[in-house]
Structure formats: C-alpha cells, structure tokens
Structure 1
Amino acid sequence: MNLAEFGNLFIRFIQFKKNPFHPLVWINGEPELGKNVSVGGMSEINATGARLVIGDDCDIASFVAINCVDSHKHCIGISDEVERRDIIIENNVFIGSHAVVKGGAMIGHHSVVAAGSVVDGVTIPPYSLVYGNPMQVKAGYYRERCQGCLK
C-alpha cells in the first residue's frame, strides 16, 4: 500500500479532511493557505470560527499546533463562551516541531518560531526569532542575515 492509498483509507475511517500535505495533518475550519506551504505530519491547523491565514512559502514542521480556539476559560467555568481569535502568519515563516501558535498571534514575514515554542496571541515583527515557553522574541534577528530576501 502506498502513501496515497493509506491516506485515502485513513481519511475514510477517522474523518480527517483530505489535505494537500500529509494524511496525518488535521485541518479544521477553512484556513487560508498561501502558495508553497509545507505542513509536516501530526500537525493541527484549527481555524474553527476564526480567520487563520498562512502566507506563501511557509514551512510548518511536524507536531505543530496552530489553533484559533481556546476553551480553557469555558471549561473551568469563568466564561460562557469558547474564545476564538484570528491568526495571521505572513510569508516565509518557519515554525519548528512541537511549537504552538495561539489565537490572536500575528507572525511577521521572514520569522522563525523555534521548536517547542509557544507563541502567545501577540504581534511578532518581521525577521524575528521566537523561542521558548514563555516565549522570548528577538525582533529583527534575521533582518541583516536576510538581505536580498523577498518581502
């Protein structure tokens, strides 16, 4: 059985939406995906009830969660609503394995989110390096290294 056959069989049994990436990528809602986007296996892109944009030429590693939905306040009884916030990931962004991007985040172009990082719902400037939990941001870290990069 080849990967395509496995993917079709897997989708039929577990009801994942078919996607152009890996059969074990979970896409929920209707995210806006740019050209030349790559998403590794076991990653989640959850755009349920909010706008989620991933720009052109982005590379999303395996085991990444990009999730517009946060239900923790609802679950513990301090909110009647599940929180849903937009996420915008501009062009040429790399997101490393096991990273989490939370609702409200805006990641500027030519930025890198290091493996295992948790990106809070804030604006990250272009050319930044984001790392850690709690996250640290080195704004402009890649600006000089990226001379000649397309904007």
Structure 2
Amino acid sequence: MEESEFKQLFLKTVHNRDNPYHPLVWINGEPEIGPGTYIGGFSEVNAKGARVVIGRDCDIASFVAINVADSHRRCIGLAEANDNRDIRNGDCVFIGSHCAILGGAVIGHHSVVAAGTVVRAGVIPPFSLVLADGVKPGYYRAEYEAKHGPWQGDDSP
C-alpha cells in the first residue's frame, strides 16, 4: 500500500480530513489560520457555527482544544442549540499543551497561555502571560521592548 493511500484510509477511519499540520489534528469548519502557525498532534480547532481566527506565527502545542461550541446547556435541557461564539488569537501567540480555548475568547498578540489553562470568554491584552489561576496582563512587554525597541504595532487583541 502506498503512503498516500494509507493516509487517506487512516483519515477516513478516524473521521478526519487532510490538513497542513498533522494527520492527528482535527479541523472542523473553516478556521482562518495565519501563515507560519504550528498546530501539534491530537489538537482540535472547531469553527463549526462561529468564526475562529488564529494569527500568524503562533505555536499551538499538542492536545489543545480550540472550540467555539458550548453544548452543556443543550445537553441538560436548558437550551435548544449549542452556544457558538467566535474565538480570536492574535499573532505570535503560544498555547501550551492540554489547554482549552473556549468560545468568546480573544487572546492578544505575543501572549503565552501556560499548559493546562482553560481560557474562557473575555479579552486578554497583548504580551500577557495566562496561567491556570489568572492572567498577568502585559507580562512580556518590557522584555520584548528591551530586545526589539518600543512596540510600534496595534495593541488591540
């Protein structure tokens, strides 16, 4: 069996489609993913029902879920449909292993999301360090500016 034939059979077996990242990255819907972005194996980007924008040169580790859909209210009989909300990651964002980025989250450019963190709806400013127990806004700004000079770009997340 040729490698390409095996790959197509494998993707069909695991209900996945080919993508430029890894055969074990699940891409659902049509997310907008910038150039130079890496997505590790066993990660999921679910953009079905809402918009996902991931900037350029991001590093998304393995076992990350970026998911616009929240089904808990539908599942327990309190809603008729999933609650789908947009997600936006700025440029140069690092997301550590075993993170969940939930609908409504906006992560500013040059931010780091530590491993194991759940990012809920809300806006995280650029250059932030996001930990499982909170956000340190602008944590990396001084170090970045010491190396590269004053930030000249847009500071909107």
TM-score (ref. length: structure 2) = 0.89
Query: % of aligned pairs identical?
Result: 56
Of 75-84 and 85-94, more deviation after overlay is shown by 75-84
| Structure 1 residues 49-64: aligned runs within 5 Å | 49-64=49-64
Aligned equivalent of 1:13: 13
Which residue identity does 1:23 align to in structure 2?
P
Matches within 5 A, 1:13-52: 13-52=13-52
Q: Can you give the 5+ residue segments of structure 2 that lack an aligned partner in the other structure?
A: none
Residue 106 of structure 1 aligns to a residue whose secondary structure is strand
Structure 2 residue corresponding to 1:144, chosen from 142, 145, 150:
142
2:131 is matched with which residue?
131
Structure 1: which 5+ residue stretches go unaligned? none
Structure 1 stretches of 4+ moved >4 Å: 1-6
Return the offset for 1:13: 2.1
Distance 1:3 1:70 in 2: 37
What's the CA shift for 1:82?
0.8
**Cα displacement (A) at 1:80:** 1.7
Distance 1:131 1:74, change over 3 A: same
- 1:72 corresponds in structure 2 to 72
> 1: CA distance between counterparts of 2:152 and 2:28?
30
* CA separation of 1:57 and 1:81: change in aligned 2, threshold 3 A: same
CA–CA separation in structure 2 for the residues paired with 1:95 and 1:3? 31
Show CA shifts across 1:58-109 (max 9, x none). Answer: 0000000000000001100111221000000000000000000000000000
Deviates more, 1:135-144 or 1:91-100: 135-144
Other structure's SS at 1:130 match: strand
Task: Give the letter aligned to residue 142 of structure 2.
Answer: E
- After superposition, give the CA deviation of every residue in 1:103-135 in whole Å (9 maximum; x if it has no partner): 000000000000000001110000000011xx4
Q: Distance in 2 between matches of 1:37 and 1:15?
A: 23
Greater mean deviation of Cα atoms: 11-20 or 82-91: 11-20
Normalised to the residue count of structure 1, the TM-score between the two structures is 0.92
Task: Specify which structure has the higher proportion of helix.
Answer: 2
Query: Corresponding residue for 1:110?
Result: 110
Question: How many residue pairs end up in the alignment?
Answer: 149
> Rg bigger for which structure?
2
Match of 1:53, SS?
strand
